[in-house]
């Protein structure tokens, strides 16, 4: 019999209607009372962690989820985390770095409609997640939503109201779940394999340090450069969400470059990504991107999602005192298929 621990954190799936809109106030017991019978021999336990709208998710909440998984890791065959959809991709990415080489599944799921509504996606998402977590071939951090199984490092919310809320970015879906059947597409050892030693690697390792001082700087036409010095003062890393393949406008480069010259690369880590959803960045394509790459020691997110790039920087910088060489090596070392193109590609 598979033993699954369900961790509840609030979100739409556990919300009730109020005069001011949906509020995530349903208890774990109330949530599970709406749950249809799950096929198979599965033993379920529930552990409530907190009741928040996922918009309010903070690093301290990530740590509470992490510790709940860590403290119960040996007692259960898998974990299902009920989570709001708005920041689920960030949580999935963070857990992918904080829990290394898990040989058990850590599944995040939620809903676009509360489980208490007559018409809802919550019941199917929750039952699919339990089914997937109970399967002995499942492992790693994933999102299960609308019948899709998506790597925790590759998920993004792409629809605000439709049931198919999440997409897998720059990587195929790991599996689909249809009428109680799991159809696997990727059998990478990070996502699939018998429980026990994690693919011949060491058992799961849990990291409890994060540096939340990572700023996502989205570029827009006409953006004023005056805030750049303040961003550098307050944050340890800046992830620049550039145009296209990696373009940074001339109107910002003078101030940006002046700030970058004040610090060693390990003091203020600069990473460049693209605000385009698919296919990633390639700084050398245009002169407006090549200029920063040729002038400074920076990181390039390449085909990583913004959520994964931010989470990875927080994880890497969580341990103070790393050299630039260590930071660069960790950033370009693939974790759970978060990056497919190497540093020299």
Handedness of CA 61, 67, 72, 76 (dihedral sign): positive
For residue 287, the model assigns a pLDDT of 73
pLDDT, tens digit (0-9, with 9 covering 90-100), for 115-132:
888 888 888 999 999 999
State which fold the 2-206 domain adopts: Rossmann fold (3.40.50)
CATH topology match: 2-206 vs 214-332: yes
Q: What is the DSSP code (8-state) at residue 278?
A: S
- φ, ψ of residue 45 to 5 degrees: the values are -120, 155
33 near 115, Cβ under 8 Å? no
Model pTM?
0.93
Domain ranges of the chain: 2-206, 214-332
Average pLDDT of the residues in 75-91: 96
Average pLDDT over residues 299-323: 97
The domain defined by 214-332 carries CATH number 1.10.3720.10: no
Active site residue 285: no
Q: And the tokens for 140?
A: 């790693």
Mean per-residue pLDDT of the chain: 91
Give percent above pLDDT 70 in the chain.
Answer: 94
Candidates 8, 9, 12, 153; catalytic one: 12
Measured CA to CA, the distance from residue 288 to residue 302 in angstroms comes to: 16
């Amino acid at each position: 019999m598979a033993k699954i621990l369900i961790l509840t954190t609030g979100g739409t799936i556990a919300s009730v209607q109020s005069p001011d809109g949906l509020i995530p106030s349903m208890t774990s017991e109330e949530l599970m009372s709406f749950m249809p019978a799950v096929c198979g021999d599965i033993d379920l336990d529930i552990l409530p962690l907190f009741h928040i709208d996922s918009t309010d998710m903070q690093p301290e909440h990530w740590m509470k989820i992490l510790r709940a998984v860590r403290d119960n890791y040996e007692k259960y065959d898998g974990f299902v985390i009920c989570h709001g959809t708005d920041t689920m991709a960030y949580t999935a990415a963070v857990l992918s770095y904080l829990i290394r080489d898990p040989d058990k599944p850590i599944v995040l799921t939620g809903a676009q409609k509360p489980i208490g509504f007559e018409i809802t996606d919550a019941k199917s998402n929750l039952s699919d997640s339990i089914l997937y977590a109970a399967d002995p071939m499942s492992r790693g951090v994933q999102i299960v939503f609308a019948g899709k199984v998506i790597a925790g490092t590759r998920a993004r919310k792409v629809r605000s109201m439709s049931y198919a809320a999440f997409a897998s970015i720059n990587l195929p879906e790991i599996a689909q779940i249809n009428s109680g059947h799991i159809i696997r597409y990727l059998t990478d050892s990070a996502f699939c394999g018998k429980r026990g030693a994690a693919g011949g690697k060491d058992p799961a390792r849990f990291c409890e340090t994060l540096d939340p001082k990572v700023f996502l700087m989205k570029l827009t036409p006409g953006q004023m450069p005056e805030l750049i010095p303040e961003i550098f003062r307050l944050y340890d890393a800046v992830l620049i969400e550039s145009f296209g393949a990696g373009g940074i406008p001339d109107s910002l480069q003078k101030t940006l470059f002046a700030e970058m010259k004040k610090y060693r690369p390990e003091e203020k880590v600069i990473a460049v990504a693209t605000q385009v959803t698919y296919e990633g960045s390639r700084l050398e394509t245009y002169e407006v991107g090549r200029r920063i790459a040729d002038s400074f020691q920076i990181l390039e997110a390449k085909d990583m999602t913004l959520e994964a790039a931010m989470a990875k920087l927080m994880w890497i910088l969580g341990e103070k005192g790393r050299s630039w060489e260590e930071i660069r090596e960790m950033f370009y070392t693939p974790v759970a298929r978060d990056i497919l193109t190497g540093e020299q590609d």
